[in-house]
């Protein structure tokens, strides 16, 4: 399972990269705005800065919702670095744009996916990744993980190459459950990744080992 971090914060991206388990980064316009990155040039420079830190795919989202504009924007993003994956919303023009990018060898991430039908369409169009938003489905009292399960079944039935990128991951249980179901990738916040480290028996066991060592070395 690949681990992506879902942020545009360079410090957090560096921390995850230093941990040695990072396979990529996803961003979106809200995450870029959260870091105060505005204006076309600053946005492009920020994507370049992210690409310089990580050894994997970096999703950069188009703002346009019209086919021609998406193509222009996506091609400019893809030129920034080989790591760039053009993130495209699941709308009619988005599906057409994904098809275009796939014929040009430009990697894509189809975002804002909330149903298996949308995921099927994204795979048919040749998306590299499809991003079902599991946390947002849970937020409206539906089952985000059930959607991952459905997409896994459909993609396996037809051996689609599109990778399931579980997005809107909120906590470590989401990560574990996605791993059990067979999501290819998960993207989540640094806190959810770091929470996988934690177990109270690890902490108490380590404290005991260190104190026994200390006592023994004083004898």
**CB of 182 vs ligand G3P, minimal distance in Å:** 19
| Annotation marks residue 72 as catalytic | no
Q: Which is nearer to ligand G3P, 6 or 57 (CB)?
A: 6
**CB of 144 vs ligand G3P, minimal distance in Å:** 10
Q: Does residue 187 contact residue 165 with C-beta atoms inside 8 Å?
A: yes
Using CA atoms, how far residue 12 sits from 23, 137, 159, 217, in Å, is 14, 26, 35, 39
Residue nearest to ligand G3P according to CB distances in the complex: 168
DSSP H helices, the chain, are 10-19, 29-34, 40-53, 67-80, 92-103, 116-125, 134-139, 144-158, 172-181, 190-195, 200-218
**CB of 198 vs ligand G3P, minimal distance in Å:** 21
Give the interface with ligand G3P as residue ranges (CB under 6 A): 6, 26, 28, 133, 135-136, 167-168, 187
Q: Which is nearer to ligand G3P, 179 or 207 (CB)?
A: 179
Tokens of 200: 């109270």
Query: Which residue among 72, 79, 87, 219 is the active-site one?
Result: 87
Give the span between the Cα atoms of 64 and 89, in whole angstroms.
9
Q: Identify the three-state secondary structure at position 128.
A: coil
Q: Which is nearer to ligand G3P, 171 or 213 (CB)?
A: 171
Q: Which is nearer to ligand G3P, 36 or 200 (CB)?
A: 36
**CB of 114 vs ligand G3P, minimal distance in Å:** 11
Q: Which residues are catalytic?
A: 87
């Amino acid at each position: 399972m690949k681990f992506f971090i879902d942020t545009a914060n360079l410090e957090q991206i560096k921390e995850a990269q230093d941990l040695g388990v990072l396979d990529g980064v996803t961003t979106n316009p809200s995450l870029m705005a959260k870091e105060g990155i505005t204006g076309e040039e600053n946005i492009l420079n920020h994507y370049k800065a992210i690409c310089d830190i990580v050894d994997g795919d970096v999703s950069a989202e188009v703002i346009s919702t019209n086919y021609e504009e998406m193509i222009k924007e996506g091609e400019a993003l893809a030129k920034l670095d080989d790591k760039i994956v053009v993130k495209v919303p699941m709308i009619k023009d988005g599906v057409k744009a994904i098809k275009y990018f796939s014929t040009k060898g430009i990697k894509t991430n189809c975002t804002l996916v909330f149903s298996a039908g949308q995921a099927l369409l994204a795979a048919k169009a040749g998306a590299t990744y499809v991003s079902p938003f599991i946390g947002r489905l849970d937020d409206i009292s539906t089952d985000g993980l059930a959607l991952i399960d459905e997409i896994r079944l459909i993609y396996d039935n037809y051996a689609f190459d599109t990778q399931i990128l579980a997005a809107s991951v909120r906590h470590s249980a989401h990560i574990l459950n996605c791993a059990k179901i067979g999501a290819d990738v998960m993207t989540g916040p640094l806190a959810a990744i770091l929470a996988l480290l934690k177990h109270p028996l690890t902490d108490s066991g380590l404290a005991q080992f260190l104190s026994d060592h200390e006592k023994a070395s004083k004898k």
